[in-house]
Structure 1
Amino acid sequence: MHRKRFAGIPSPRSYPILGHVPITKPDVEGFVDQIMGMASLYPDEPRMVTFWAGPMPSVMLYSAELAEVIYTSSKHLNKGMFYDFLLPWLGEGLVTSKSEKWRPRRKLLTPTFHYDILKNFVYVFNHQSEILVNKLNEHIKTNEVVEIGSFVTLCALDIICETSMGQSVNAQTLKDSEYVRAVYRINDIVQRRQKYPLMWNDTLFWLFGDGKEHKWAINVLHSFTRKVIMDRKTRLHEEGSAGLGRLAFLDLLLDMEKNGDIDLGDIQEEVDTFMFEGHDTTATGITFVLHMLGCYPEIQEKAYAELQTICGTSEEITFEHLGQLKYLECVIKETLRLHPSVPIYARRMEEDDKIGGFTIPAGTQILVNAFLIHRDPKHWPDPEIFRPERFMLESNNRRHPFAFVPFSAGSRNCIGQRFAIMEEKIVVAWVLRNFKIVSLKRRDETRLKTELILRPIEGVRLQLTPRPK
């Protein structure tokens, strides 16, 4: 009877009770090919497909028009089941919380991402970008080829630590940091667990999966952030905000705690959430931008020429420069179109609702596939061509508002998207000003894997040549 409710929605043939599990590829690349291939079987309207993880249905949407139903709804705000695996780390922060807790928290935190706050972080972006460039210069003295993602990830980790907690972990300069190792491990463990239904059970995960390592990583992460919060709170009490120097997001949260708006547990949830949301996604975005610039030398030189014109001999990229780097922003957005850091967003249907002419039952997991929405030829002519000019103002105004959703959309979009674009602009600008970039693999040779985050399977290898000073 349950299956009959999904009759009519396109779906490849599946087995009773087992669904598509027996034919699901076990490897990451094969699984991604299957998910995307399922959609390619049904490229026309309604651009939606059902697949079954055993008896559990998921409906994947891959058109702007269908995504609009979810994004504009005030009902379907809760995240899908895969986000539940983040709860031990993030608690009920902005990413994972149910709508009743999320609404007031989002309203409370939105002012902390105002431009007047964000521009205070430009110094941190520049400082850590300079360290990145120095590290790359050291590396290419002995080897011109660099796996850029590993360098950028450490840079992004230092940035998010310093901006969210006011304390750098020196990931770029220290050879070994327990906190950095824990961040890497928890990401790997969560993403591996999501792919194996047997590991969804907590008991099986503890006995036969990565349960013990998961506990170690959680303890390290929570102990670190708890200590930073308490140290910062003590300093704030003793010295006042003036004594802290540059304010971090944590200082704004502690001010809210002082006013009785949130408690220390809430603060820890949000600091851990900033660490998760603002680290891996941005690092992956920057890595893909540098890859694209290395694949298209004419676009690289156009972006470099804009940088030289706008920034001149200025050592840093200032807040005023950022608004003028319009072509570089187009490059970043076109990269996010083809390589959205979060390729699929999950929501739970809170009640029966019509999507694409079908009534989808309450409880169904909805997967909004941004990767494929960004390739819909209805809204993106020649969708596989890398063309930054698509994001010039005139083109933007004619496009469906939900045809480009790299930061999700609607009321539950990414609160840190301005932060991310500013960071990407500055880090990319520093690398581009200092090096000529050549990608060692073409776009079509770069294999991708889709976990919570879209990643290149074998990393991105670049040849960097210092530009003349």
Structure 2
Amino acid sequence: MNEQSDILVQKLEKHSDKETFNCFSHITLCALDIICETAMGKNIYAQSNSDSEYVKAVYRMSDIIHRRQKMPWFWSDLVYYVFGEGRKHNRNLKILHSFTESVSNNFVIRLDSLSSDSDTDHTVKKKRKAFLDMLLNATDEQGNCLSQENIREEVDTFMFEGHDTTAAAMNWAIHLLGSHPEEQRKVHKELDEVFGTSDRPVSMEDLKRLRYLECVIKESLRLFPSVPFFGRTFCEDCNINGFKVPKGANAIIIPYALHRDPRHFPDPEEFRPERFLPENSSKRHPFAFVPFSAGLRNCIGQRFALMEEKVILSKILRHFQVEAKQQRDELRLVGELILRPESGILIQLTKRTQKLMPEVPTLLQVLEDHPSSR
């Protein structure tokens, strides 16, 4: 995450102090690089090569799936493949599946070669593990490993659901902070308290201390939830507000509306990160805020997503001040697979006045680390 965030900051520096630009694609490509390396242990260099066949296939598939969702007459496979985009769908799907299979096959070969090495244990421990590692080693209750198709499906799901949603959340947070200078100053103050003038990587301990930034992310997800709606099927008959809902009925939950309930969020259209401070949220209904869904089928990657968003946003905001160049009514929301603005997020960046430097250890730290030098 730190490595890809540094690349993103370098790309954003080209736009700083100069122009208004759309940051949506920059942040999205960074998220894609992170999730690809996390899921498959392979860097696709999306930030430096956005024209790669795999990156293009990812975005084409998202568009194809969304268009089919909106056209019920194409829900039939026969009609879709004869009159619709079925062939284009299959071509892009083949690119995605071929890439995933080639990575997993190479992964298996590498593991086999390591198993014959006497230093295998030492080597594996030092290597950063990807989601694919766990899938290849996973077994069911009978001790059977996942099939190649099972592994591919899991990785593809992680890839698609894991980059667009987090990228949208970060873009909305950037817009909201750029529209609310006072809240942005609070974030900068917290970052300065945690990092000082250091340009060091973000650590797990740092993430725990970035409490106000986490409130900003949650408030951004309240106002602009990445997933515009999700569905559930009733497993038993129940009553809701006096209405009987039969078993087997489908319910559509719309977080964008749910998060604007004034009973739980007074002045719901206002951007107030303080709503999510522990003292303000501890008594709130647990299902009043569901950007990651809720219950047994909630998002498996929500902790990972919050971690990624805190790392990337903290990196950006340690280097820049952000000014939004759109009013909220100019964003024109589009509810596709994710909630996105029709024309992107237009911002202007200004480099922060304090110069970030590599962290220099204090005399006390030197003495503690090297007692013999006392």
Fold match, TM over 0.5?
A: yes
> CA offset at residue 354 of structure 1?
2.4
Contact 1:160 1:279 in 2 (8 A): yes
| One of 30, 36, 51 as aligned partner of 1:161 | 36
Give the match for residue 222 of structure 1: 97
Deviates more, 1:372-381 or 1:194-203: 194-203
Give the match for residue 330 of structure 2: 445
Question: Matches of residues 150-189 of structure 1 in structure 2 within 5 Å?
Answer: 150-189=25-64
> CA offset at residue 432 of structure 1?
0.7
What letter corresponds to residue 330 of structure 2 in structure 1? E
> Is 2:135 the counterpart of 1:250?
no
> CA offset at residue 317 of structure 1?
1.2
Q: Distance in 1 between matches of 2:4 and 2:160?
A: 18
> CA offset at residue 291 of structure 1?
0.6
> CA offset at residue 144 of structure 1?
1.9
Give the match for residue 406 of structure 1: 291
Give the match for residue 305 of structure 1: 189
Give the match for residue 386 of structure 1: 271
> Is 2:170 the counterpart of 1:295?
no
Give the match for residue 138 of structure 1: 14
Residue aligned with 1:278, SS: helix
Q: Distance in 2 between matches of 1:309 and 1:174?
A: 36
Q: 1:243 to 1:152 in 2, by over 3 A?
A: same
| One of 159, 174, 184 as aligned partner of 1:275 | 159
Q: Distance in 2 between matches of 1:175 and 1:418?
A: 27
What letter corresponds to residue 244 of structure 2 in structure 1? T
Alpha-carbon deviations, 1:19-78, whole Å to 9, x = none? xxxxxxxxxxxxxxxxxxxxxxxxxxxxxxxxxxxxxxxxxxxxxxxxxxxxxxxxxxxx
Contact 1:342 1:452 in 2 (8 A): yes
Deviates more, 1:257-266 or 1:323-332: 257-266
Deviates more, 1:160-169 or 1:312-321: 312-321
TM-score (ref. length: structure 1): 0.71
Q: Distance in 1 between matches of 2:250 and 2:75?
A: 16
Residue aligned with 1:366, SS: strand
Segments of structure 2 that go 5 or more residues without pairing to the other structure are 115-119, 356-374
Question: Matches of residues 105-116 of structure 1 in structure 2 within 5 Å?
Answer: none
Residue aligned with 2:14, SS: helix
> CA offset at residue 257 of structure 1?
5.0
Residue aligned with 2:349, SS: strand
Residue aligned with 2:39, SS: helix
Question: Matches of residues 28-427 of structure 1 in structure 2 within 5 Å?
Answer: 125-140=1-16, 143-239=18-114, 240=120, 242-243=122-123, 245-256=127-138, 260-312=144-196, 313-427=198-312
Q: 1:452 to 1:361 in 2, by over 3 A?
A: farther
Residue aligned with 2:321, SS: strand
Q: Distance in 1 between matches of 2:340 and 2:88?
A: 23
What letter corresponds to residue 215 of structure 1 in structure 2? N
Q: 1:348 to 1:215 in 2, by over 3 A?
A: same
> CA offset at residue 443 of structure 1?
2.0
Contact 2:31 2:163 in 1 (8 A): yes
Contact 1:144 1:465 in 2 (8 A): no
Q: Distance in 2 between matches of 1:256 and 1:241?
A: 18
Q: Distance in 2 between matches of 1:257 and 1:178?
A: 33
> CA offset at residue 461 of structure 1?
0.6
Contact 1:146 1:464 in 2 (8 A): no
Q: Distance in 1 between matches of 2:105 and 2:64?
A: 28
Alpha-carbon deviations, 1:166-211, whole Å to 9, x = none? 0010000114211100100110111111111112122222223221
Q: Distance in 1 between matches of 2:281 and 2:24?
A: 30
Q: Distance in 1 between matches of 2:15 and 2:92?
A: 30
Alignment RMSD = 1.6
Q: Distance in 2 between matches of 1:274 and 1:382?
A: 35
Residue aligned with 2:110, SS: helix
> CA offset at residue 331 of structure 1?
0.4
Alpha-carbon deviations, 1:85-121, whole Å to 9, x = none? xxxxxxxxxxxxxxxxxxxxxxxxxxxxxxxxxxxxx
> CA offset at residue 145 of structure 1?
1.7
Q: Distance in 2 between matches of 1:202 and 1:231?
A: 33
What letter corresponds to residue 60 of structure 2 in structure 1? R
Q: 1:249 to 1:242 in 2, by over 3 A?
A: farther
TM-score (ref. length: structure 2): 0.88
Contact 1:133 1:430 in 2 (8 A): yes
Q: Distance in 1 between matches of 2:12 and 2:154?
A: 32
Q: Distance in 2 between matches of 1:164 and 1:454?
A: 23
Residue identity (%): 51
